[in-house]
Amino acid sequence: MRILHIGTIAVESKETKRELKSIGGISGYILELIRYSQSKNIDIGFIGKIYNYQKLSEIEYIEVQQEVTGTISFLFNLFIKSIIKPIPKDIIIHAHRPDHLAALVFFNNRPSIISLHGQQAHTVNIRKGKLIRSIYHFMERYAVKKAHTLIAVDDITNMFYSKLYPQYKHKLVTIPTGVNTKMFKLKDVSGFKEKYGIIPSYKVIVYVGRIEPPKRIDILLEVFKKIIITNPTFKLIVIGDGISRLSMENRAMELSIQNNVQFLGVRKREELVDYFNMADVSVLLSDNEGSPLSIKESLACGTPAIANDVGDIKSVIENGVNGFIVDKDKIDMIVEKIVWAAYNSNKLQENCIRSIQNYTISKVSQEVVEIYRNISNE
């Protein structure tokens, strides 16, 4: 059995610099799935762009571009590569965006899977112009029609695409993202705060993710402003990058909270383990999500999470047990829950770790591998 993934991923190394921007939830999802598949003796290939490919030299790699480009350029290069180097008929293609699959199989009829990491069609409608929306929706419809199976990472995404393409809802299954519990786990945090320049007595709130409009960092900053009025020994750490980073840094200064907020940019995954362990609570306030991995990684490290009801949050967070589900429009409620969770963080550690046992890499990846096997047998 041979699987060919499509996308852009980055394998971390000591030299990793610009490519860190490609190290995110989807990249981590693909890499963990590749490693698990290899442990089951599945032959893996990749088409797209791998930064630090030498770290994955055991897989076949078809490079479509050398530098970072926009989506349109990537799709064009992918389409050209599919013509120059046709995909063998015995390969199962696993795409992580519908438009990637459409570009690769436009002149090929190959068994294929699409992992749907959230409601991308909705995001495109909000953020893109009319021409880009038209091109994307054409490619998405084509890909959904071609695909053998559509893997939604949460039930909301499943329902969204079931309504959008009712004729293909029989192809949809829900398999959430999984957390690497061998990496993300409870650690002895003695000296962590001093190591990262934080006063040991301070309570730490952490956000990990992109800094872009749908992630609503603006709301998080408003919440934090209210927190430090009565709790001045709180620290907010924002890890990630994106088009809104500069404006959010400026907003923190406008709110006069810049001395208690750190924007750290992108960090390697091994560093995230330290930050989640050091934190007293993690926060996610977002307009839309699929199956947010940062929440599961936080819980795996024993750190309670505060999030609004997006993606599969309801199946992961239980109020008062391992965090709270909040309404992102109710600032005072969010303030109250964050402060309570921060002061009760240690009491919730065991609950947090126990709550993600159904979301381990081995459990969720095995479900994907079973789909590979079913397609292969067919």
Task: Tell me: do 151 and 221 sit in the same domain.
Answer: no
pLDDT of residue 165: 97
pTM as predicted = 0.85
Task: Tell me: do 355 and 368 sit in the same domain.
Answer: no
Nearest C-alpha neighbor of 157 from the set 290, 56, 32: 290
Domain count, the chain: 2
Alpha helices (H) in 19-109, listed in sequence order? 25-39, 71-84, 98-105
Please, what are the averages of pLDDT over each run of 10 residues along the chain (378 residues)? Answer: 91 57 72 93 93 77 82 91 87 96 88 92 84 93 96 93 96 94 90 86 94 93 96 95 92 96 88 93 91 92 96 93 96 97 96 94 95 93
pLDDT of residue 22: 46
Q: How far apart are CA 294 and CA 264, in angstroms?
A: 16
> Is residue 184 situated within a structural domain?
no
Task: Tell me: do 164 and 279 sit in the same domain.
Answer: no
- Its sign, for the CA torsion 153, 154, 160, 163, is positive
State how far Cα 367 lies from the chain centre: 19
| CATH number, domain containing residue 24 | 3.40.50.2000
Coil, strand, or helix at residue 236? strand
Task: Tell me: do 251 and 355 sit in the same domain.
Answer: yes
> Is residue 12 situated within a structural domain?
yes
Q: How far apart are CA 206 and CA 228, in angstroms?
A: 15
Task: Tell me: do 345 and 367 sit in the same domain.
Answer: no
pLDDT of residue 311: 85
Task: Tell me: do 38 and 120 sit in the same domain.
Answer: yes
Task: Tell me: do 202 and 93 sit in the same domain.
Answer: no
DSSP 128: S
pLDDT of residue 15: 57
* CB atoms near residue 136 (< 10 Å): 23
Nearest C-alpha neighbor of 276 from the set 252, 295, 249, 256: 295
Q: How far apart are CA 299 and CA 345, in angstroms?
A: 11
Task: Tell me: do 23 and 46 sit in the same domain.
Answer: yes
pLDDT of residue 68: 67
Task: Tell me: do 371 and 348 sit in the same domain.
Answer: no
> Is residue 187 situated within a structural domain?
no
Going from the C-alpha of 175 to that of each of 90, 129, 157, the distances in angstroms are 25, 31, 11
Q: How far apart are CA 10 and CA 45, in angstroms?
A: 15
> Is residue 186 situated within a structural domain?
no
Task: Tell me: do 123 and 200 sit in the same domain.
Answer: no
pLDDT of residue 69: 72
> Is residue 164 situated within a structural domain?
yes
Nearest C-alpha neighbor of 283 from the set 203, 196, 183: 203
| Residues 6+ away with beta carbon under 8 Å from 226 | 331, 332, 335
Helices 331-343 and 345-355 cross at an angle (nearest 10°) of 100
> Is residue 334 situated within a structural domain?
yes
Task: Tell me: do 325 and 373 sit in the same domain.
Answer: no
Q: Which two tokens stand for residue 207?
A: 């956000």
> Is residue 199 situated within a structural domain?
yes
pLDDT of residue 21: 52
> Is residue 86 situated within a structural domain?
yes
86: containing domain? 2-178+361-377
pLDDT of residue 14: 61
- Strands, E, within 187-319: which ranges? 203-208, 234-239, 261-265, 281-284, 305-308
Task: Tell me: do 203 and 160 sit in the same domain.
Answer: no
